[in-house]
Amino acid sequence: MFKMRYLALAVLCALGVQVAMADVANKKTKLTFSGPVQVPGATLPAGTYVFKLVDSASNRQIVQVSNLRGDRTYATILAIPDYRINATSKTVMYFGERKSGTPPAVKSWFYPGDNYGSRFVYQKIEATKIAAEVKQPVPAMEAAKVEVKVAQAPPVMTVTPQATEQKYEAVVFEKVDIVDTAGTDGEAVQEPAAAPAAPAPQLPKTSSPLHLALGLGGLLLSASALARYAKSRLS
């Protein structure tokens, strides 16, 4: 019984480690917006959403936006690696400030404790409009559907506020990010815990061992009587 309990405990611990590793790997985050926000390819109304990295062996920078249940996907976003000097204990999303009445555009997303995050890439038409409004360069790509299974992502460029195109360079964004302020804080979402392991089956107790003791005692008495009888015949 003790061995079985230890084995079950070890299995539960192993499952817990796997769940924790899954959480860190997909960066699953719950974010609540008080007003509409823009992400590449979609405008999200006020509400609560889940952001996570898609499990793709070919590209680790594809972000999926869904509802809390995970049964509806609002956007599948191509992202590129982003960096910040000071990490925080919360998930943070950065926005580009836009004119009043226009939903702020999400620029980048960082998981708790991470210096490296995901900067969203907008399609060229969206990026040109955002860059002109926020007066900052915006990563862009030609209009193309983001495919999770595609190993080679579309090339990324930089659209300037003057509507010109340049080669993408991360250092450009590191400079403009100095003036950024943190946007909505997010909550890291834990995956459901694994169900407890079933207890080891036990054989049912059929009856009391009293009959076994009585039977053994009878055998010993019979053997003793037989030994005395044999001794009397020999003497």
Structure tokens at 233: 């015949």
Of 68, 73, 69, 77, the residue nearest 148 (C-alpha):
77
- Give tens-digit pLDDT for 154-183: 689 999 999 999 988 877 676 666 655 555
**Average pLDDT of 119-130?**
93
Q: Tell me what pLDDT residue 51 has.
A: 95
Distance CA 141, CA 123 (A): 5
Distance CA 148, CA 58 (A): 8
- Start-to-end CA span in the chain (Å): 55
Buried b (16+ CB within 10 A) or exposed e, 177-215: beebeebbebebbeeeeeeeeeeeeeeeeeeeeeeeeee
Q: Where are the beta strands (DSSP E) in the chain?
A: 29-33, 37-39, 42-44, 47-53, 62-66, 73-83, 91-96, 105-110, 116-120, 122-123, 138-141, 157-159, 165-167, 182-188
Distance CA 44, CA 138 (A): 19
Sequence ranges of the domains in the chain? 2-188
Q: Which residues contact 186 (CB under 8 A, 6 or more apart)?
A: 29, 30, 31, 51, 90, 91, 92, 93, 109
- Give tens-digit pLDDT for 34-64: 999 999 999 999 999 999 998 766 566 889 9
For the entire predicted model, the pTM comes to 0.65
